[in-house]
Amino acid sequence: MDYITERACAKINLTLSVGKKRADGYHDISSVMQTVSLCDTIKLTKADTISLECSRKSLPTGETNLAYRAAALFFAKTGIVGGVSIYLKKYIPVAAGLGGGSADAAAVLRGLNRLYSAGLGLGELCNIGAELGADIPFCIMGGTALAAGIGERLTPITNNVTMQFVVAAGGEGASTKMMYELLDGTDERVLIDNDAMVAALSGKNLDAVTALMANDFEIVAEPIRPTVTELKRSLVERGARAAMMSGSGTSVFGVFATRKAAVDAASTLRTEGYFAAVCSKSARIG
């Protein structure tokens, strides 16, 4: 085959606990992460060199783009002589805490593995991805997992809860670097019980899941990004069991018991000028 397509699924954080800054500049985290059906699509076509075209013209398409770098690293690691023409159709909001760049890189690694019949296992792909970013191994694997370390140590979780999500975002994003710097400037943290969240997900307990949702970054995000607070309130007013910022922000997701309630809420938010997408949890890749 000469080309394939891959889905690059966004991720949300049902919990996110952030430790103090380490000597190496990274932070240890503990987070229950979930991939969702909101996704970018990537077409990979065999070529002699690496090139990248993106539907969102404001995004870089050279070596600073994670998808481009993932392709370069794949060929370097495998020793395969070849290249790829990448077309990235972008749907996931940028700088929103949804892991869009990591998802794109993960999709490129999975796709090139298939396109060139490289035969790499999921673990080998994750090891390659970890060299580019801490979220990439999770985006390669997908599903539900408890992430530890800087995010690269993953334990798959059984998620038996039926739920729908509305992912919403305003106009202002936030860089991950800035959010970590703000969090480093405060000792405030949220009480987060990941063990209880894991039990709630496996036990089909939606009420417990929504009660346990917590994200340390909200402490520093809400004072400077008021749309986070506004979107959380709007989602709850429109039927969400709970609403919370994802990752380092500034997107917000609401958890709904039914798809109809989620669709109605998203429709209303879009009329108010927000990005709003209805999505469901996506399964583990392998």
What CATH number does residue 19 fall under? 3.30.230.10
H helices present in the chain, as ranges: 66-78, 100-115, 122-130, 136-141, 176-184, 194-202, 206-212, 218-224, 226-237, 259-271
Is 135 tagged catalytic? yes
Q: 94, 123, 156: which is the final residue of a domain?
A: 156
Dist CA 92 CA 6 (whole Å): 14
Per-residue model confidence (pLDDT) at position 72: 98
Characterize 120-130 residue by residue with b for buried, 16 or more Cβ atoms within 10 angstroms of its Cβ, and e for exposed.
bebeebbebbb
Does the annotation count 11 as an active-site position?
Answer: yes
pLDDT number for residue 279:
97
Looking at the structure, tell me whether residues 10 and 151 fall in a common domain: yes
Taking the chain (286 residues) in runs of 10, the rounded mean pLDDT of each run is 94 96 91 98 98 94 96 98 97 93 98 97 96 95 96 94 96 85 92 96 97 97 94 97 95 97 98 97 84
Residue that finishes a domain, picked among 111, 139, 156: 156
Choose one of 156, 174, 197: the last residue of a domain: 156
Active-site residue, selected from the candidate residues 11, 90, 232, 281: 11
Those residues with Cβ within 8 angstroms of residue 30's Cβ, 6 or more apart along the chain or in another chain: 15, 16, 17, 19, 146, 147, 148, 192, 194
The first and second tokens of residue 202, run together, are 């496996």
Query: Can you state the angle between helices 122-130 and 66-78, rounded to 10 degrees?
Result: 120
Q: Residue 257 sits in which domain range?
A: 164-280
Identify the CATH number of the domain in which residue 271 sits.
3.30.70.890
pLDDT score for 286 = 60
Query: Among the options 135, 216, 232, 281, which is catalytic?
Result: 135
Shared domain for 214 and 252, answered yes or no, is yes
- At 213, give phi and psi (nearest 5°): -60, 130
Identify the bridge partners of residue 4 per DSSP, sorted by sequence position: 44
Both 65 and 111 in one domain: the answer is yes
Q: Are residues 147 and 179 in the same domain?
A: no
